[in-house]
Amino acid sequence: MSSEEQLSAIKGAKVLMVGAGGIGCELLKTLALSGFQDIHIIDMDTIEVSNLNRQFLFRQSHVGQSKAKASTSSSIFPCFLALVARDAVLRFRPNISITPYHANVKESRFNVDFYKEFDVVLNGLDNLDARRHVNRLCLAADVPLVESGTTGFLGQVTVHLKGKTECYECQAKPAPKTYPVCTITSTPSKFVHCIVWAKDLLFAKLFGDKNLENDLNVRSSDATNLSEHSEDVFECRKGEDIEQYGRRIYDHVFGHNIEVALSNEETWKNRNRPRPIYSKDVFPDKLTKENGKTEKGSATDDVSAMASLGLKNPQDIWSLAENSRVFYESLRLFFLKRQKEIGNLTFDKDDQLAVEFVTAAANIRASSFGIPLHSLFEAKGIAGNIVHAVATTNAIIAGLIVIEAIKVLKKDSNSYRMTYCLEHPSKKLLLIPVEPYEPNKSCYVCSETPLSLEVNTHHSKLRDFVEKIVKAKLGMNFPVIMSGASIIYEIGEDLEEDMALSELPSPVISGTVLTIEDLQQEFSCRINIKHTLHAHREEFDEEREPDGMLLSGWVEAPVDKNNNKSIGNGESTSSALSMEEIQEGEKDVEIQETSESAENVTGKKRKLSEVSKGIIPDHSGLPDENGISDYIARPMQGEGEAQLQYIKLHLYIDKEKDGCKLMSTSLPKIPSFKRFLIPTLYAFDEELIPMLKVSSDKVPIT
C-alpha cells in the first residue's frame, strides 16, 4: 500500500475507542495527530482529582463531573469525560469528527450491529469483565480488536483478528489487580477499594502534605454548608480538643460525604445504597473516659491503638464499634505522640499506627457500603501491594495501539505484533515485539471447544451454577441455558433457581450437555456435565472450584492464594504478565537442570523462580558453569502422569560478560512459558537473537 493509499485508509476509517481514561486520553490525542477523522468513544466514568496527573486532556474545573456525555464546559449541563476529551482535541484538530457516548459498554444498544459499523476497535478498558465482553462482540462482528493494558511501568498491546490470531480469551488472564479511582471514591464494591481510599486519600489528607489536593477536597467543596464542610475541614480548629476534632472528621468522611453521594440518585439505580455512619451512633459519650486516657497523656507509652485498647490479636475482625474506637485512638496518638511528623507522613506498611488507622478507616467505610470487614493482618497485606499508574507508560502504549491499528487498516497481517513494555530495559530494549499467537484450539470462545463440569448434581443449585460458573467464570451477562430443546434458565424466569440441578423439570445429570447462549454477546458454548460425589466435600478451593464445581477445558488464570491485589491509581488491569506475577502464579512448575537428553531427563529439580534469576535483568543467580547448559521445564500435572511436554533452552554462559545468550529453544504451546521467556530473555541482553522463534526440532514427549 502506497503512502497515499495508507493516508486515505486512515482518513476514511471509522474507529471505536472503548475507555477515555489514562490510556484513552493519550490514544485520542495520538489518533487525531495521526490523521484519523472519525472516532467514537464510549466511557461511563467521572473525572477525579487523581486522574489529572496522567489524563492531560482534563483540568481542575472538570473534577467531580461525569466522564462521557455530550455537553460543553460552558454549558449549564455537567461536563462529561468523552466530551471534555473531544473538545480538548478539537482545539488542535477542529476538522475531525469525535462522537462521545456516556454509557456502559455493556448496554444493549452497543450490540453486534453497532460494532459492525467500525473498521477497528481499540480498547483502553480498566476491567477484565468489560474486556471479555468487547472481545466477544468483536468476534461476532468480525471486527479487528487492538487490546492494551498498563500496570505501573509495565504495558502490553495485542492484536486480535478472528480466525487469524488468538482472541483475548485464548490465554489465561490474571485476576484484576488495578482499580479505577472513580470506583474507589464513589462506588466501592471490594474491600481493597476501601483500603486504597483510607491509605491514599484519607491518611494522606490528615497526615501528609496539606498542600496536595486529592478527591477528599472535592467532596468537601461540593457541600452546601460551607461553614461546616469547607476545604479546611481536615484542619484542627481553634479551641477544638482532639475528641471534638476526631468526631468531626468521622462525621464528615463517614456521614456527610456519604449523604452527598446519595444525593446523586442516578448512581444508585442499579447499586446498593450505602448508609451514612455518624459518631453519635457508635462512639460512647466520652471517648477519653472509655479509653482510660486524658488528652495530655496515656496510661502506657505504647504508640499503638491496639495496645492502648487491649486488642491483642491482629487476625481478629473488629466490630464497627471497635473499628471506630481504633480510628479515634490512632488519630489521637498521631496528634499526641507524633505531632512533629504530621504534614510529612506517607503510609508505610511497617508503621504499626498507620496500619491501624488505615484498617479502621477502611472497615468503617466497608461497613457503610455493605462490604465484609477484614482483620488488621489482612488489611496490611492488601495495603502493602499498591502499583500506581504512570503517564509515560500510557503514552507509549497509546502510540503502539495506533501503530497496530494502522497495520490492521493496511491489512498487513505479517507485520502484526504484540508488544511488551518493560520496566527495566537492557540498553535500548524497552519494547519487545512478538508475533501474535495463533488461535488456541482449546479456547471455548473462539474455537467452540466444549467444556466439562464436575459437579454434584444432587447438591449444587441452579442459582449457584448460573452465578458462579456461567456469569463469574464464563463472563456471560444475560445467559439462556438449554438442555436439548428445553430451556432451564433465562433472565427473569427464576422459579427453579433454588432447585438442585438434578431436580429441575429437565434434570441435569451426568452426561447432560448444556448449551449456554448470551444473546447480547452473540456467543454460545457447550458444557458436558459429569456428576461426581467428590464435588461436594467439606474442603475445596472456592476460587478454583466454586461450591465444589470444577470447570475444565477453559483457560484459567493462576490463582493468587494470598489475595494480595496490586492497586493502580485508576488505571487498567493489564494483560501483561510481570516477572513477579509469573513467579507467584506458576508455582505448579518445576525445572530440571540436566546435561542429558530430553528422552532421559534426570537431574536436580529447581523451581522456576530460581532458574529465572539467570535470565532476568538483574543478572543475579546465573548458573555457575561455562559453555552450554540445558534447562528443561515442564508443567506439573500430577505424579505418575507421563504425557508432559518440555521446554528446552540452550543457554551460553559467559562469565566475563556476566551474561548469557539464547542459542536455541524449543517451545511447545504452553502460553505461560512463552509469555515468561520472551520478555525476560529480551530484557536480559540486547545481543539476544533478534526474534525468539520456535525451533523446528521439537523436544520429545516422554
499-546 pLDDT tens trace: 899 999 899 999 899 999 998 888 899 999 998 876 444 445 556 677
Widest CA span in the chain: 82
The burial of 315, by beta-carbon neighbours within 10 Å (0-12 exposed, 13-18 middle, 19 or more buried), is given as exposed
d(CA 85, CA 83) in angstroms, rounded, equals 5
Angle between helices 376-383 and 352-368 (to 10 degrees): 100
Domain with 72 in it: what CATH number?
3.40.50.720
Is residue 443 a known part of a binding site?
A: yes
- Cell match 464546559: residue? 73
Is residue 343 a known part of a binding site?
A: no
Residues in contact with 453: Cβ distance below 8 Å, sequence separation at least 6, in sequence order: 469, 527, 528, 529, 530, 549, 550, 551, 552
278-307 pLDDT tens trace: 998 887 666 654 444 434 344 345 589 999
Instruction: Say yes or no to pLDDT of 262 above 80.
Output: yes
All 3 cell numbers of residue 371? 462490604
Whether 524 and 497 map to the same domain: the answer is: yes
Give the number of other Cβ atoms within 10 Å of residue 280's Cβ. Answer: 11
Q: Which residues participate in catalysis according to the annotation?
A: 182
Domain count, the chain: 4
Contact 333, 369 (CB under 8 A): no
Residue 573 placed within a domain: no
Residue 162 placed within a domain: yes
Domain that holds residue 195: 181-383
d(CA 604, CA 542) in angstroms, rounded, equals 34
d(CA 255, CA 234) in angstroms, rounded, equals 15
All 3 cell numbers of residue 642? 507421563
Residue 472 placed within a domain: yes
Whether 198 and 242 map to the same domain: the answer is: yes
Contact 190, 371 (CB under 8 A): yes
pLDDT of residue 578: 34
Q: Which residue has the higher pLDDT, 566 or 436?
A: 436
Angle between helices 22-34 and 391-410 (to 10 degrees): 50
Interval 261-276 mean pLDDT? 85
Interval 376-397 mean pLDDT? 81
Is residue 603 a known part of a binding site?
A: no
Whether 268 and 312 map to the same domain: the answer is: yes
pTM as predicted: 0.55
176-201 pLDDT tens trace: 455 666 778 888 888 989 999 999 88
Is residue 20 a known part of a binding site?
A: yes
pLDDT of residue 554: 55
Instruction: Say yes or no to pLDDT of 269 above 70.
Output: yes
Is residue 291 a known part of a binding site?
A: no
Query: Which is nearest to 497 in space by CA: 471, 522, 475, 531?
Result: 471
Contact 578, 151 (CB under 8 A): yes
Whether 540 and 604 map to the same domain: the answer is: no
Element (DSSP H or E) covering residue 188: none
Query: Which is nearest to 360 in space by CA: 246, 471, 233?
Result: 246
pLDDT of residue 94: 74
pLDDT of residue 603: 34
Query: Which is nearest to 682 in space by CA: 655, 656, 653, 662?
Result: 662
pLDDT of residue 54: 59
Residue 564 placed within a domain: no
Domain with 363 in it: what CATH number?
1.10.10.520
Query: 292-309 b/e with 16+ CB inside 10 Å = b?
Result: ebeeeebeeeebbbbbbb
End-to-end CA distance of the chain: 48
Residue 525 placed within a domain: yes
Residue 458 placed within a domain: yes
Is residue 270 a known part of a binding site?
A: no
Whether 237 and 351 map to the same domain: the answer is: yes
d(CA 181, CA 564) in angstroms, rounded, equals 18
SS3 for 389-453, per residue? Answer: CCHHHHHHHHHHHHHHHHHHHHCCHHHCCEEEEEEEEECCEEEEEECCCCCCCCCCCCCCCCEEE
pLDDT of residue 281: 87
Query: Which is nearest to 493 in space by CA: 528, 461, 462?
Result: 462
Contact 133, 105 (CB under 8 A): yes
DSSP 604-617: EEEEHHHHHTTTST
All 3 cell numbers of residue 335? 496528634
Is residue 202 a known part of a binding site?
A: no
Whether 226 and 367 map to the same domain: the answer is: yes
Interval 246-262 mean pLDDT? 92
Residue 443 placed within a domain: no
Whether 334 and 242 map to the same domain: the answer is: yes
Query: CA angle 146-448-470, nearest 5°?
Result: 85
Whether 188 and 275 map to the same domain: the answer is: yes
Interval 428-436 mean pLDDT? 86
Q: What is the CA radius of gyration of the chain?
A: 28
Whether 233 and 359 map to the same domain: the answer is: yes
Angle between helices 320-337 and 242-251 (to 10 degrees): 130
All 3 cell numbers of residue 224? 452546601
Whether 374 and 420 map to the same domain: the answer is: no
Whether 146 and 218 map to the same domain: the answer is: no
pLDDT of residue 261: 87
d(CA 16, CA 292) in angstroms, rounded, equals 62
Q: Which residue has the higher pLDDT, 488 or 536?
A: 488
Is residue 130 a known part of a binding site?
A: yes
DSSP 287-301: HHHHTT-BTTB-SS-
Element (DSSP H or E) covering residue 341: none
Instruction: Say yes or no to pLDDT of 609 above 60.
Output: no
Residue 272 placed within a domain: yes
Whether 144 and 238 map to the same domain: the answer is: no
Instruction: Say yes or no to pLDDT of 173 above 80.
Output: no
